[in-house]
Structure 1
Amino acid sequence: MKVGLIHATTTAIKPIEQAFQAEAPEIELLHFMDTSLLSLIESSGSLTPEIMRRFVVLLNMAADSNVDCIQLTCSAFNNITTFLQPLYSIKLFRSDEAMLDEALAYHRIGLISTVKETPEALITYLREKKPDCLIESLVDPGIIHLLFQGKKDEHDLKVKNMIREMDGQVDVIVLSQYSMEHVAHQIRTSVPILTAPLATVKRCLSYLQHHGS
């Protein structure tokens, strides 16, 4: 079976590949990427027609590659699946839905993001599923760019500081970007920390077992 992965940044590749290798190394992964998407959404602040068109190019390439499902890996673009799924017979998975479904088991949910546009996409999903949940959000726009610049230690320190600030104020902490997954293993907290890659892979595999070729 094959899974098409849609990326907007290179930082998502390693976390999702490691998760698939741990859970289902037999799955063939096909990568489709447009690294201009992040800068476009950061400059526009929303999903513009240009962004939608560029995203459709990636989806079309994946759909035409005989994959069994398509998995997004960048949370800032997750709401796009709502508009585009009806256009495709193949299943499109948000990058975060499995993780957020786990978060919905808690009442007070804390979101930590390194891309300004991400919280809106996550909050929309959470509110639709559980309107009465309490959501706290911390975002430090642009931290993800530290990883692009090779400043991993500085990135990790800033994320850990946000986690410490959130700890104790909520029942669960959600790390919104795949690129923060490794930080969860570097810090102890009084509440659970949820990350997306492994939960995403398990959701994807469950679908493939029932619908895959």
Structure 2
Amino acid sequence: MSRKLAIIHTTPVTVDSLKALARETIRDAEIVNFVDDSILPQLAANGGNVAEVEERWIHYAKFAEQVGADCILNACSSVGELVAKAQPHVGVPIVRIDEAMAEEAVGRGRRIGVAATVPTTLEPTLRLLRAKAAAAGNDAEFVPALADSAYRLLMAGDKDGHDRVLAETLLELGDQVDVVVLAQASMARVVETLPEAVRPKYLSSPRLGMERVKRVMEGSG
């Protein structure tokens, strides 16, 4: 019997890549996407106050359950903390795309870099990492890096410029730490442009998050 995965996005950028990854990872899954590209601009304007979008995001989770989803994936780290708020309102599991990545990162080293292109994603990712480090007994040190100029280039339609600036930031950060966490799912493809020898140092959320989804849907995670 086919299983259904609902993915809640805050940007259309992640739709095709996560759909392809889901089909690769969970071969018989039907994918349903919900996209609200007004959330990130709202968070940028309000200083990252997710309380303003909480009710709306919970509605998307409810809609996902109504269309028959067996699992819901939150594709955006900026609103990852809403998963815990939404879970009591729906009867199917909700997975944070970045949770498995955070657990992997704190198991890799004590000095952890965190890269983002928007500040609204950087802070919630740091909070998640600190919580995972504390749970693992890792007295980790976190080194944040914000490549906000890369985001501005992307919004202006300059994808190549975004990738170039972000790659420079990632390489510089990688020289300072044991492992680098990419705070946004949309950043994952840039790792493939880095020298092959350094790529294992960089952790992105999509594949690790989708593997967590697979385990949840199979009842083992």
TM-score category of the 2 structures, normalised to the smaller one: over 0.9
Query: What is the DSSP-based 3-state SS (H/G/I as helix, E as strand, rest coil) of the residue aligned with 2:186?
Result: helix
Q: Deviations over 1:148-200 (max 9, x none)?
A: 44311100011111112102211011111111111101102386111111111
What are structure 1's unaligned runs of at least 5 residues?
A: none
Give yes or no for the alignment of 1:210 onto 2:219.
yes
C-alpha contact 1:7 1:13 (8 A) present in aligned 2: yes
Instruction: Return the offset for 1:211.
Output: 6.9
Paired with 2:60 and 2:114, the residues of 1 have a C-alpha distance of 28
Query: What is the DSSP-based 3-state SS (H/G/I as helix, E as strand, rest coil) of the residue aligned with 1:163?
Result: helix
Instruction: Return the offset for 1:73.
Output: 0.7
Paired with 1:210 and 1:49, the residues of 2 have a C-alpha distance of 31
Match of 1:170 in 2: 177
Match of 1:135 in 2: 142
What are structure 2's unaligned runs of at least 5 residues?
A: none
C-alpha contact 1:103 1:109 (8 A) present in aligned 2: yes
Paired with 2:161 and 2:194, the residues of 1 have a C-alpha distance of 15
Give yes or no for the alignment of 1:50 onto 2:59.
no
Query: What is the DSSP-based 3-state SS (H/G/I as helix, E as strand, rest coil) of the residue aligned with 1:67?
Result: coil
Match of 1:182 in 2: 189
Q: Deviations over 1:57-93 (max 9, x none)?
A: 2112112111011101111110111222222221111
C-alpha contact 1:116 1:142 (8 A) present in aligned 2: no
Stretches (4+) displaced over 4 A: none
CA RMSD of aligned residues (A): 1.9
C-alpha contact 1:100 1:126 (8 A) present in aligned 2: yes
Spell out the pairing of 1:117-136 with structure 2 (5 A cutoff). Answer: 117-131=120-134, 132-136=139-143
Match of 1:88 in 2: 90
Letter of the 2:74 counterpart: L
Match of 1:98 in 2: 100
CA 1:190–1:145: 2 relative to 1, 3 Å: closer
Match of 2:163 in 1: 156
Paired with 2:4 and 2:155, the residues of 1 have a C-alpha distance of 28
The more displaced of 119-128 and 64-73 is 119-128
